[in-house]
Amino acid sequence: MALLNENYLKLPGSYLFAEIARRVAKFKSENPTADIIRLGIGDVTLPLPAASLEAMHKAVDEMGAPETFRGYGPEQGYDFLLKAIIENDYAPRGVKIEMDEVFVSDGSKSDVGNIQEVFGVDNVVAITDPVYPVYLDTNVMAGRTGEYNNGIFEKVVYLPCNAENNFIPALPTQKVDIIYLCVPNNPTGTTLSRSELKKWVDYAKTNGAVILFDSAYESYIQENDVPHSIYEIEGANEVAIEFRSFSKTAGFTGTRCAYTVVPKSVTAKTASGETHSLNKLWNRRHTTKFNGVPYIIQRGAEAIYSPAGKAQVKEMVAYYMANAKIIREGLAGLGLQVFGGVNAPYIWLKTPGGLDSWSFFDKLLIEANIVGTPGTGFGPAGEGYFRLTAFGNRENTLAAVERIKTRLKL
């Protein structure tokens, strides 16, 4: 008889966005004429940068000629993309990264979930709360989290982030081994300053912990004191793994390309005390289970680092951040308590009238035909909050704010 991985049975309900899709589908079937504006899932709406399209068209032509055709490529990524990443994302910030410390993949979602495979099941995991669900759910699947009771997993260390602490997580009061940080944060849209990040690096060094640093939204940072990479913090290359994505930076959500940086100086120990580089272990996992991002896609990613590509990406980011400003100021003008939208394309709001997150989801959908994301779906500290995304088009963003002003009964 085949036996289950029973850890999967500990996962509460369905994946957050699957539940949202189910509720929206039900509403749509009951209200077929409703014009629904979707500001829930953080999917982009602008087309790919022209520089990427041009590069991919050229790469497609190369695949049609014997002398330029490519089959299997290096699982870690082609050198041309690795070099572009290092020279543009890290070197200008004074960060030294080696070619064999960068791993190109099909998305940060995959990487932040898969990275936990190189860690033992007895590690104590700390997550900021609210949090991107993949961090927690993949650790549940691995058997690291214990039982689920009253909305929390017994072995997970939750680090609440809310309006009362300005969305700045406190250092754990107990020793933890793996720390997930997302800066700029999804879902709250908030950030951590250089001095706050330094506290986490120092904690990790003192306690032998590893920081898993998701910086998928770093291109949206507007303020000067917010580091774009954790490696800008002294000592971080000894304790941190960084995840980056082209999805929100350059509209690659459907094209799929990202990368993870694993410095060779980041280590973990065996139960007997032997020290091993996580770079070597991740390389083994990556090459065993992944055949690499297609050549055509990697050429498209490389093109965003060209002068034309940089200009086009900057314009794309500015478009979405203008949407964020429209939502943020529109909701604040109604007296709602809003956060984020300054260094990230997400607006995090306190649900009005003491409504719980799912009740506000239903209210917004029914009264204004707008889809958002309930804060409770991101963790217990997300209850009473709600996320809206700035990744919609301008017309829908303006229409959504107008509907909230005129239709929503606050």
Distance (Å, rounded) from C-alpha 99 to C-alpha 239? 19
Domain 53-306 has CATH 3.90.1010.20: no
Question: 123 falls in which pLDDT band (50, 70, 90)?
Answer: very high
CATH class of 7-47+308-406: alpha beta
Rounded Cα distance, 381 and 110, in Å: 25
Cα gap 366→362, rounded to integer Å: 6
Collect all residues with Cβ–Cβ distance below 8 Å to 311 and sequence separation of at least 6.
none
Q: Confirm if 17 and 40 have CB atoms less than 8 A apart.
A: yes
Q: Where in the chain is the domain with CATH 3.90.1150.10?
A: 7-47+308-406
| Structure confidence at residue 268 as a pLDDT band (50, 70, 90) | very high
Q: Where are the beta strands (DSSP E) in 145-253?
A: 148-149, 152-153, 157-160, 178-182, 210-214, 240-245
The predicted structure's pLDDT at residue 394: 97
CB of 37 closer than 8 Å to CB of 399: yes
Answer whether 122's CB lies under 8 Å from 155's CB: no
Amino acid present at 402 = E
User: For the chain, how many residues are written?
Assistant: 410
Token code pair at residue 385: 């909050």
Tens digits of residue pLDDT in 64-85: 999 999 999 999 999 999 999 9
User: What is the average pLDDT across 368-390?
Assistant: 96
pLDDT digits (tens, 9 = 90+) for 31-75: 999 999 999 888 999 999 999 999 999 999 999 999 999 999 999
Please give the pLDDT value at position 410: 83
Give the global pTM.
Answer: 0.96
What's the pLDDT score for residue 41?
A: 84
d(CA 229, CA 217): 11
User: Residue 382 contacts by C-beta under 8 Å, 6 or more apart in sequence?
Assistant: 129, 130, 187, 357, 374, 375, 376
Is the four-CA dihedral 303, 308, 313, 314 of positive or negative sign? Answer: positive
Q: Which residue spans of the chain are classified as CATH 3.40.640.10? A: 53-306
> Over 80: is that where the pLDDT of 156 sits?
yes
Asked if residue 15 has pLDDT above 80, the reply is: no
Give the pLDDT mean for 308-316.
98
Instruction: Name the average pLDDT for the chain.
Output: 96
> Above 90 in pLDDT, residue 14?
no
